[in-house]
Amino acid sequence: MKKILLALMLSLAFILPGCGGNVSQNNCGFSGPANAIYLVIYPDGERLSGFTPVTGGLFLVPKRGYTCNQLSVRYGISLGFTLSASPSSVYLPSPPASVTMSGQSFDATYGMPRVDYFDSNGYLVGSVGATSVSNGGTSLQANMPNLSYVYSGTYQVKVTNKTYDGYYLNIVGQAPMTGWGRDRPDSDGDGWYDDEDCNPYDPYFTNNCNTETCGGYGTTPRYICDGMVY
Amino acid sequence: MRLIKGLQRRRSMAIALAVAFVLVGGAAVWHASKLPAEASSKDKQESHKRLRKGVGSEVRFASAAANAQQIDEAVRSTDEFIHWRSGLRMSDETKTRLAKAESDVLKGKARLITLDELTDNLTTAVVDRLATLTDEEIQEAADASTDEHGDIRSRADGKWGVLTKKGLIKQGKSGRDWSQQGDSALRAGLRTMIEEEVSDRVVKLSAALPEQFGQASAQGVTPTQALLIAYSVAADDPLADSRGDIEQMIVQKRMDARQTREEKKAQKNVSGRPYGPRGLVHPSAPHLFFKAGVEKLLSRSEGGKK
């Protein structure tokens, strides 16, 4: 009985025929290169990305109501180079018009690389296309994105090359950059900056917008919902 | 005809078991999402290192010579560890009972919990709780287990693919019906799977933290260790990685997704925590079962003195 149950459990994901011969009712199985970036494109334009297993081989993605052969899969690589940005420190109220990235493997063969700016929490704060790439791919120029809503702190500038079929999937690497001259406000003084606070003007709301806490409105303090206490 | 009906029932049972596991929180494959199934020696070393940086560093296990204050600290650090990762919070009453149970075991007044006992307790807790789940709780479990893309993974590494919310709710109700009927196949199937999950965790913990878990397979575990293993099974949390490592992992995940703060604020189906309801690394609904599981463990400890 044990074996039957386990075999049935395991077979659920792999029992039905389909693309690659490894598909369940809800999933499609694809094989890709080891530890590569994959991008699944659904017919409605929705996208799903992730990494293939480090040893390569099968990975499963949800069908979302489509057949497996309606899904398009693309692969990319992450070179993981440490890059440098110039300037590496930016006065935010008056930023420079452009930035130069130095490193290697910048590639404009299929289109200009994309330059993304992330804050210290990993949130995207700006994205621009490069304006030029040097011969040899060791430096890149790009306009500075709109930083008028960006606060002082450390940022990461990430460069991604375009693939032959038009997707930004080949990550070159990233460089640190410091922004200064515009401190983050905490209007309600609850210890959470306005841009991360669920309600910047109510101290009972912090950054925990959708989790296990109850209350937290008006003068009702937040408390842990009963169901989460054991 | 009987054979066909039998096969249909077995398949339905298998789906219900899978669903029960998702409802439990996805008693998942122990491997981290990017580790291969057959771990090399290097991978094992890395896995052990990550465990030592996680539960090994953040939970201060009490030794046999521990005083009351050190045992309280072990319980407090366990609570903090689980709470930071999943949002589950230990009540004051549970803390007191757990500290007493831990003290009794460490002082030799009560015996260790064998892995069989732990497995039995968890199985009973899951089967009993499954029988009493309301439609709302099943819906809540489905919501809490859904990731930011609207998918439900029965395993954190996606090995068994993805379930739809509708499918999970339907099969969850079937599982409840079988549990209410006292279906022995459901119980036996769940026990086998929980046994494997517990065993997997103990093997890894024994290798990574031999001072604390080295005797677990042969002799058993303390109540605090049992609670940590139960939580790991329920939330599919491997207990690995420090807070800093996990925060960095989440930052990297956001960067990969190119998410803005506005998009994050607009999301209704993610918490700020890595595990547990709407978790960022692996969402699950362990709270539905965990309380019952802990209660069983503590009752056993309180009644299982030498």
Lowest mean pLDDT among A14-23, B94-103, B153-162, B197-206: A14-23
The answer for B 117-146 residues in CB contact with A (under 8 A) is none
Q: What's the gap in Å between the CA of B27 and the closest CA on chain A?
A: 13
Comparing CA positions, the residue from B117, B129, B85, B128 lying closest to residue B301 is B117
**Is A228–B287 a contact, with Cβ atoms under 8 angstroms apart?**
yes
HSE on the CB side for B278, CA within 13 Å?
Answer: 18
Per-residue pLDDT band for B210 (boundaries 50, 70, 90) equals very high
Report how many Cβ contacts below 8 Å link chain A to chain B. Answer: 149
Contact list, A8 vs chain B (CB under 8 Å): 10-11, 13-14
pLDDT given at position B300: 85
Q: Would you say B278 and B111 are in contact if contact means Cβ atoms under 8 Å apart?
A: no
* A143: Cα within 13 Å, side-chain hemisphere: 7
Section B167-187 average pLDDT: 87
pLDDT one-digit tens code per residue, B272-306: 789 998 888 899 889 888 989 999 999 988 875 44
| Structure-model confidence comparison of residues A96 and B143, the more confident one | A96
Omega within 30 of 0 (cis) for the link into A95: no
Please report which confidence band the pLDDT of residue B158 belongs to, taking 50, 70 and 90 as the band edges: low
Strands A89-91 and A168-180: parallel
**CB proximity under 8 Å: A 166-185 to B:** none
Give the Cβ contact number of residue A65 at 10 Å. 11
Q: Where are the domains of chain B?
A: 2-303
d(CA B117, CA B115): 5
Number of helices (H), then strands (E), in chain B: 14, 4
Which of A38, A61, A230 would best serve as a mutation to test chain B binding (most B beta carbons within 10 A)? A230
Q: What is the largest CA-CA distance in chain A?
A: 71
- The verdict on B170 touching A (C-beta cutoff 8 Å) is no
**Site from B258, B270, B294 to mutate, A interface, most A CB atoms within 10 angstroms:** B258
Cβ under 8 Å to B: A residues 105-134: 116, 118-125, 127
B133: closest CA among B236, B22, B35? B22
pLDDT at A221 over 70: no
Amino acid sitting at position A101: M
3-class secondary structure, B209: coil
How far is B127 from A72, CA to CA, in rounded Å?
A: 41
Q: Are B24 and A44 in contact (CB under 8 A)?
A: no
Complex ipTM tops 0.90: no
CATH code, A79-180: 2.60.40.1220
Determine contact, residues A15/A24, Cβ cutoff 8 Å.
Answer: yes
| Cβ atoms B286, B235 nearer than 8 A | yes
Cα dihedral value B158, B160, B165, B171, nearest 10: -160
Q: What distance in Å separates the CA atoms of residue B32 and residue B230, rounded to the nearest whole number?
A: 18
Residue A210, pLDDT above cutoff 70: no
pLDDT digits (tens, 9 = 90+) for B115-155: 999 999 999 999 999 999 999 889 888 888 888 777 787 66
For position B200, what pLDDT does the model report? 92
